[in-house]
């Protein structure tokens, strides 16, 4: 060791001595001196080693992807989630019933479905549609009188299988179940430009307590609606067709409209015919009503 090396070594020792705390053991001082004398080794990786490590990492990643490692892991996670949901939900059927009960209490339902149950001890019969109980037959031309002159119109035959009668009416008119009395029917005018409301003729089965009560009911209803009774016109239905078994008939007239009632009987059953004519259609509706009455027949 030359003088320069010795001097450098002494400087290092002095520096280490200065860093030692004032109060410490001699053993600690000596271990610090020895530690300072140990040579330091530099740690480094050459560039080719770094490149090799990167290439190796890329290769491992490709192998994992091609082998479905991450897919399997995802499936395992999904399965785990399903198991957790099943465990947390418990009995699925029980939960569904609880949700239905909650919906009923709240008055709402996700898919609202209304069901009807027949009351115990009662026979409830749903009303038959017009297509089920009203049969439409052939059409034909027929001559009618209007304003003192003959006119030819096309009529269609129809039969009500529920009430047990048949007749004819203008082929354009609508024969249907009465929405206000589902056991009866109504005929609505239609001249090719759409329905003309309200119905101008209806036939409805009724329960008769007494004929006088029926007459009083008609008189009261028409009086309340501004109609006046016309006695001299109270035999129009019966005079056109005595096969209807007309028991009573009433004709009421208003300012721009008129209404006729007739009470019929057949095999201990009773029916009312209402004929309502109004406004500019009064004459035409009167003619069509006359056709229905003229061809009316009770069917077996």
Encode pLDDT of 89-102 as tens digits. 545 444 444 444 44
Structure tokens that stand for 233 in this block: 């016109």
Nearest to 243 by CA among 179, 166, 155: 166
| C-alpha angle 276-277-278 in degrees, rounded to nearest 5 | 125
Question: pLDDT exceeding 70 applies to what percent of the chain?
Answer: 60
Lowest mean pLDDT among 49-53, 156-160, 275-279: 49-53
Which tops the pLDDT comparison, 6 or 275?
A: 275
Encode pLDDT of 121-167 as tens digits. 444 444 566 778 999 999 999 998 877 788 899 999 999 999 999 99
Flag whether the pTM goes above 0.75: no
Torsion over CA of 226, 231, 234 and 235, rounded to 10 degrees? -170
142, 153 contact by CB (below 8 A): yes
| C-alpha angle 11-14-18 in degrees, rounded to nearest 5 | 140
- Distances 261 to 16, 87, 100, 136, 191 between C-alpha atoms, Å: 132, 73, 52, 25, 24
Give the pLDDT confidence score for residue 79 in this predicted structure. Answer: 44
**What is the distance between the alpha carbons of residues 294 and 143, in angstroms, rounded to a whole number?**
13
Give the pLDDT confidence score for residue 147 in this predicted structure. Answer: 75
**Tokens 């770094």 correspond to what residue?**
50
Nearest to 143 by CA among 296, 299, 294, 298: 294
Encode pLDDT of 202-256 as tens digits. 999 999 889 999 999 999 999 999 999 998 878 999 999 999 999 999 999 999 9
Alpha-carbon radius of gyration of the chain: 52
Give the pLDDT confidence score for residue 291 in this predicted structure. Answer: 94
Which tops the pLDDT comparison, 6 or 267?
A: 267
Lowest mean pLDDT among 22-26, 31-35, 128-132: 22-26
**Tokens 């203008």 correspond to what residue?**
170
Q: Which residues contact residue 261 at a Cβ distance below 8 angstroms, ignoring those fewer than 6 apart?
A: 218, 248, 249, 250, 251, 252, 272, 273, 274
> What own/partner pairs with CB < 8 Å and gap ≥ 24 does 172-180 have?
173/288, 175/130, 175/134, 175/136, 176/130, 176/134, 177/127, 177/128, 177/129, 177/130, 177/133, 177/134, 178/202, 178/204
Sign for the CA dihedral angle at 182, 187, 193, 196 comes to negative
* Average confidence score pLDDT of the chain: 75
């Amino acid at each position: 060791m030359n003088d320069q090396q010795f001097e450098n070594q002494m400087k290092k020792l002095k520096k280490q001595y200065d860093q030692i705390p004032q109060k410490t053991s001699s053993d600690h001082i000596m271990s610090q001196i020895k530690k300072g004398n140990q040579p330091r080794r530099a740690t480094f990786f050459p560039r080719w080693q770094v490149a090799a490590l990167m290439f190796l990492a890329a290769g491992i990643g490709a192998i994992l992807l091609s082998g479905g490692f991450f897919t399997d892991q995802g499936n395992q996670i999904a399965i785990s989630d399903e198991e957790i949901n099943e465990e947390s939900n418990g009995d699925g059927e029980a939960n569904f019933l609880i949700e239905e009960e909650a919906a009923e209490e709240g008055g709402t339902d996700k898919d609202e479905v209304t069901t009807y149950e027949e009351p115990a001890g009662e026979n409830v019969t749903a009303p038959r549609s017009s297509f089920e109980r009203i049969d439409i037959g052939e059409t034909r031309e027929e001559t009618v009188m209007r304003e003192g002159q003959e006119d030819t119109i096309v009529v269609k035959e129809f039969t009500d299988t529920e009430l047990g009668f048949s007749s004819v009416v203008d082929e354009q008119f609508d024969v249907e179940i009465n929405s206000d009395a589902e056991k009866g029917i109504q005929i609505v005018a239609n001249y090719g430009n759409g329905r003309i409301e309200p119905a101008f003729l209806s036939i409805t089965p009724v329960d008769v307590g007494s004929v006088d009560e029926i007459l009083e009911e008609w008189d009261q209803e028409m009086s309340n609606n501004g109609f006046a009774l016309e006695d001299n016109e109270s035999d129009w239905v019966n005079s056109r067709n005595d096969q209807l078994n007309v028991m009573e008939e009433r004709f009421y007239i208003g300012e721009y409209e008129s209404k006729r009632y007739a009470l019929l009987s057949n095999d201990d059953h009773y029916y009312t015919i209402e004929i309502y004519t109004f406004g500019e259609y009064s004459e035409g509706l009167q003619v069509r009503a006359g056709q229905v009455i003229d061809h009316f027949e009770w069917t077996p």
